[in-house]
A and B are shown apart, each in its own frame.
Chain A
Amino acid sequence: MKKLIALALAGVLTLTAVGCSSQNSTSDATEKYGSDTLKLYNWGEYMGEDLISNFEQEFGVKVIVEYFDSNEMMYTKLQAGDSYDVLVPSDYMIERLISEDMLQELDLSKIPNLANLAEGVKNLPYDPDNSYSVPYFWGNVGIVYNHNNVDPADVEAEGWNILKDTKYAGKVYIYDSERDAFMTAFKALGYSMNTENEDEIQAAYEWLLEMNNTMEPVYVTDEVIDGMANGNKDIAVMYSGDAAYVLDSNENMSYWMPNEGTNLWSDAMVIPKNAENPALAHEFINYVLTYEASYGNSEYVGYASSNQQVLDELSGEGGYYEGNEAYLPRSGYDKDEVFHDNQTLKKVLSELWIKVKASKS
């Protein structure tokens, strides 16, 4: 018995040792940036396989990555005093971080690759001259469905209301965030997703309650990706990039951007005020915008790249995502909206959302 334990311990120690020894020659980086460690806080399943290791090798640094699965979770940790060098929040959260003075203004001269930025994500309203944020990925939200089990004509005719079509009860994944859930309801009812009208909010709440009580939906976040790729359910509300990945790995799946409009969003890299290594953070942001890094990211994850050349190549003829309905976001459609930061509204929706989920039919 003792031998077994000793063996196991030895194994653990060896692994630790190997893990440590792969980090070397970091003194140059320390000299250049003040420290050789970058703390990155990013979404789960959001980076190309080699992004971090390539960056570490090229610049002789060490990257510590932590993952969040909602902007709110990221915000809570940031507010609790945790320090990161680079964050990748979404549009409305960047709007909030800027207004609360939690971000550093970027030194754009240190990010020459800004010239590579795709037209569609430049100068968005939350940060009009990109002085705080550099787009990472962008896209919209749509319906992924299995076209063998769900009639495409139903999806196209009903739009978001397919989520309440009891023909498909028990076969639906709903993205577990009050923002996206209420967006679906608001759009299905023909309202703006930034509405503050109490009657409209009440109507959306009832729409979601009915959906919860008649459809046996399963509420998921990132698990939806594997779930749909494996074909576990027939309908899911998904972010376009995740959808692109699902379509790529399961040929039975299709993507539909409802005519009632949807959420157009972007996630961008920012440097918080309390970053310990802003110099290296700039270097990282600049690195992500290079052709190689952007290509690796976008091809692997399936989200629309913020690098114009990569976007064109991947979606164009012969590109990896040629013909994939979910890869290239719809732009210029007047019913598509960007989320705005609105704390009072968010609180109301968040409480209603937990009540929707907690209510049982």
Chain B
Amino acid sequence: MKQFRSMVYPYVAWIAVMIVLPMLLIVLYAVTTAGNDVTTFRFTLENFARFFSDKVFLDVLWRSLFIAVLTTVICVLLGYPIAYAIAQRPEKSNMFWVFVITIPTWINMMVRTYAWVGILQDGGLINSILGFFGIGPVKMMYTTFAVVLGMVYNFIPFMILQIHTSLTKMDKSYLEAAADLGADRLQSFLRVTLPLSLPGVLSGITLVFLPAVSSFFIPKLLGGGQYVLIGNVIESQFLTSGDWNFGSAISMIMAIIIMISMYVTRKVDTDPAARGKED
């Protein structure tokens, strides 16, 4: 392997320019005041103080975390059975169902979210059908329901695919062994399948939670701007008020929260009690 080591350098350079440098810039913006030129910086922690001293921003942070956690939980509860059902299919139709799950992601997320506006709005598809039976109109747009629905819809493919992958690469002989030893189907699911698929669930959680917590487009469109989440605050700092320093500080706070949550997730992942019997 040693002779390939030099092939890593382009990748390192790529990461440095595309990932590390922008991150450093965000940190730099976050701890400086506005209006610096290239040579002099005035350092400050005021941007952070401003965030934590204002109840409105803290409420927004809580709301974002709440909606992201809710989205993630729903994605696990819905995604697991779907992934399990797909994994039970014969290999050929397995491919087909995975394909079906990924098709929506071919279409731009904005377009898909706009489609939900047409479905959910007062004169939209669902309410027209309900109206046909003399019910409604039920107000669905601009509610927590609409925002969470939009998030679950957009992010659940990541969950299903992760769980599906860990279910299909599982060695089936474990199940045969469990059956040999007298476990019924429920027992073998709880004691073999579930623990073995846990790494998939955990990476699914990461892949859903991250975009959900920083999403700004879905709450804007389906929440009618009333569900201001942390992503919306960051967006408005950059795009409308032009306060890049404060925007960077909030981004950094988010990044730290995300890093902590990933650390916790990994902790659970490596915890022997939860890890299962993977070799």
Interface residues of A (CB under 8 A from B): 1, 70, 72-73, 75-76, 176-178, 216-220, 223, 230-232, 343, 346-347, 350-351, 353-355, 357-360
Is B56 an interface position by the 8 A CB rule?
A: yes
24 A-B pairs (CB sep. < 8 Å): A1-B95, A72-B241, A72-B242, A73-B240, A75-B242, A178-B240, A216-B226, A218-B141, A218-B142, A219-B226, A220-B224, A223-B117, A223-B221, A346-B242, A347-B243, A350-B236, A350-B241, A351-B243, A353-B236, A354-B233, A354-B236, A357-B228, A358-B59, A358-B60
Cβ–Cβ contact B59 & A219, under 8 A? no
- A357 to B57: give the CA distance in the assembly, Å: 11
Q: A219-B225, A355-B56 are in contact. Are A230 and B123 (CB under 8 A)?
A: yes
- A205 to B236: give the CA distance in the assembly, Å: 17
In the complex, which residues 34-69 of chain B have their Cβ closer than 8 Å to any Cβ of chain A? 54, 56-57, 59-60
Q: A218-B142, A232-B123 are in contact. Are A358 and B228 (CB under 8 A)?
A: yes
| Chain B residue at smallest Cβ distance from A350 | B241
Cβ–Cβ contact B142 & A76, under 8 A? no
Q: B residues within 8 A CB of A230?
A: 123
Which one of B56, B123, B236, B238 lies within 8 Å of A359 (CB-CB)? B56
- A193 to B123: give the CA distance in the assembly, Å: 36
Q: A residues within 8 A CB of B117?
A: 223
| Size of B's binding interface in residues, CB under 8 A | 28
Is B269 an interface position by the 8 A CB rule?
A: no
In the complex, which residues 212-245 of chain B have their Cβ closer than 8 Å to any Cβ of chain A? 221, 224-226, 228, 232-233, 236, 238-243
Q: A218-B142, A347-B241 are in contact. Are A354 and B228 (CB under 8 A)?
A: yes
Cβ–Cβ contact A357 & B225, under 8 A? yes
Cβ–Cβ contact B121 & A232, under 8 A? yes
- A360 to B60: give the CA distance in the assembly, Å: 10
Is B263 an interface position by the 8 A CB rule?
A: no
| Chain A residue at smallest Cβ distance from B106 | A8
Q: A residues within 8 A CB of B240?
A: 70, 72-73, 177-178, 350
Cβ–Cβ contact B56 & A1, under 8 A? no
Cβ–Cβ contact B233 & A1, under 8 A? no
Determine how close the nearest CB of chain B comes to the CB of A182; give it in whole angstroms: 12
- A73 to B238: give the CA distance in the assembly, Å: 9
- A1 to B224: give the CA distance in the assembly, Å: 40
Cβ–Cβ contact A70 & B142, under 8 A? no
Which one of B225, B233, B239 lies within 8 Å of A220 (CB-CB)? B225
Cβ–Cβ contact B226 & A218, under 8 A? yes
Cβ–Cβ contact A358 & B57, under 8 A? yes
Q: B residues within 8 A CB of A360?
A: 59
Q: A1-B96, A218-B226 are in contact. Are A76 and B56 (CB under 8 A)?
A: no
Determine how close the nearest CB of chain A comes to the CB of B223; give it in whole angstroms: 9
Q: A residues within 8 A CB of B122?
A: 232
Q: B residues within 8 A CB of A75?
A: 242
- A231 to B122: give the CA distance in the assembly, Å: 10
| Chain B residue at smallest Cβ distance from A347 | B241
Nearest 9 A/B pairs, CB to CB: A219-B225, A350-B241, A218-B224, A358-B228, A72-B240, A355-B56, A357-B228, A358-B60, A354-B236
Cβ–Cβ contact A73 & B226, under 8 A? no
Q: A residues within 8 A CB of B60?
A: 358
Q: A residues within 8 A CB of B226?
A: 216-219, 357
Cβ–Cβ contact A176 & B225, under 8 A? yes
Q: Which of A178, A343, A355 has the most CB of B within 10 A?
A: A355
Q: B residues within 8 A CB of A73?
A: 239-240
| Chain B residue at smallest Cβ distance from A232 | B122
Q: A354-B233, A354-B236 are in contact. Are A347 and B225 (CB under 8 A)?
A: no
Cβ–Cβ contact B96 & A346, under 8 A? no
